[in-house]
């Protein structure tokens, strides 16, 4: 079972009940769905080696959240991958709609470009109402990016590239994931 390390980064951590509850539920989802069904080829290492950080964005003000997310991304980029590998940003005090989450990521991506960080990190959206472009809302393939709460996964590009190389046939891997979720009655959260 993966653990949550709150010691890094050194910043004011949200210890509200809402944040702590969402962190617990998120780790349960990661263990049950992402690791349990082997959905993500590079999730096991950071979870089992305590390299995953969960961060609750404070408040409901988008500009404050963007600033906080930018700081977390910057801290991740300077941290040693052997200490802190990847992060999830959670919205502890409100639930943005799927469209709002995508808008947030779009603006955050502009910040990454302005700081010349876009080649170093990927931002991956997860949401209870996630819908891949071109699919109907009911399509089970959407389960791959559905989560108990709106969140953003921050991945180091170097680790994504390394994991992709280890997978081998990415098309076959993705096809296996689609097959796995077709057998599910509902998302695992």
Q: Does the residue 4 lie in any domain?
A: no
**Is the omega angle on the peptide bond into residue 9 within 30 degrees of 0, that is, cis?**
yes
Given strand 86-91, what is the order of strands in its sheet?
52-57, 86-91, 151-156, 121-126
The larger pLDDT score, comparing residue 164 to residue 17, is at 17
Lowest-confidence region among 3-7, 58-62, 164-168: 3-7
How many domains would you assign to the chain? 1
Q: How confident is the model at residue 168 (pLDDT cuts 50, 70, 90)?
A: confident
pLDDT of residue 6: 40
Helix (H) or strand (E) holding 89, with range, is strand 86-91
Instruction: Report if residue 189 sits inside a domain.
Output: no
Tell me if 7 is assigned to some domain: no
Of 21, 47, 15, 29, the closest CA to residue 127 belongs to 29
Residues 6+ apart with CB under 8 A from 6: 13, 53
Q: Is 162 a domain residue?
A: yes
Report which DSSP code applies to 46. H
Whether the model pTM is above 0.85: yes
| Sign of CA pseudo-dihedral 96, 5, 107, 41 | negative
pLDDT at 188 over 90: no
Residue 12 — pLDDT band, cuts 50, 70, 90?
A: low
The pLDDT of residue 58 is 86
pLDDT confidence of residue 189: 78
Mean pLDDT of 72-76: 97
Cα gap 143→184, rounded to integer Å: 9
C-alpha distances in Å from residue 32, one per residue of 26, 36, 86, 98, 172: 10, 5, 18, 23, 22
Q: Calculate what percentage of the chain has a pLDDT beyond 70.
A: 93
Average pLDDT for residues 123-149, to the nearest whole number?
Answer: 96
Mean pLDDT of all residues in 116-145: 96
pLDDT at 101 over 50: yes
In a domain, 42, yes or no: yes
DSSP letter for each residue of 107-132: HHHHHHHHTT-TTTEEEEEE-TT---
Whether residue 8 is predicted with pLDDT greater than 70 in this model: the reply is no
Question: Residue 170's domain spans which residues?
Answer: 17-182
């Amino acid at each position: 079972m993966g653990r949550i390390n709150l010691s890094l980064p050194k910043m004011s951590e949200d210890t509200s009940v809402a944040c702590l509850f969402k962190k617990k539920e998120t780790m349960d989802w990661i263990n049950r769905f992402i690791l349990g069904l082997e959905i993500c080829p590079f999730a096991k290492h950071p979870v089992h080696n305590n390299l995953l950080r969960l961060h609750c964005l404070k408040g409901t003000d988008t500009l404050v959240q963007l600033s906080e997310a930018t700081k977390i991304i910057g801290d991740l980029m300077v941290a040693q991958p052997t200490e802190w590998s990847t992060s999830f940003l959670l919205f502890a005090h409100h639930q943005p709609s799927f469209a709002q989450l995508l808008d947030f990521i779009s603006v955050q991506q502009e910040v990454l470009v302005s700081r010349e960080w876009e080649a170093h990190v990927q931002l991956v959206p997860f949401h209870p109402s996630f819908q891949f472009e071109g699919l109907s809302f009911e399509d089970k393939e959407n389960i791959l990016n559905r989560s108990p709460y709106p969140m953003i996964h921050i991945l180091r590009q170097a680790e994504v590239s390394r994991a992709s190389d280890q997978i081998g046939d990415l098309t076959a891997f993705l096809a296996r994931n689609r097959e796995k979720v077709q057998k599910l009655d509902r998302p695992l959260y």
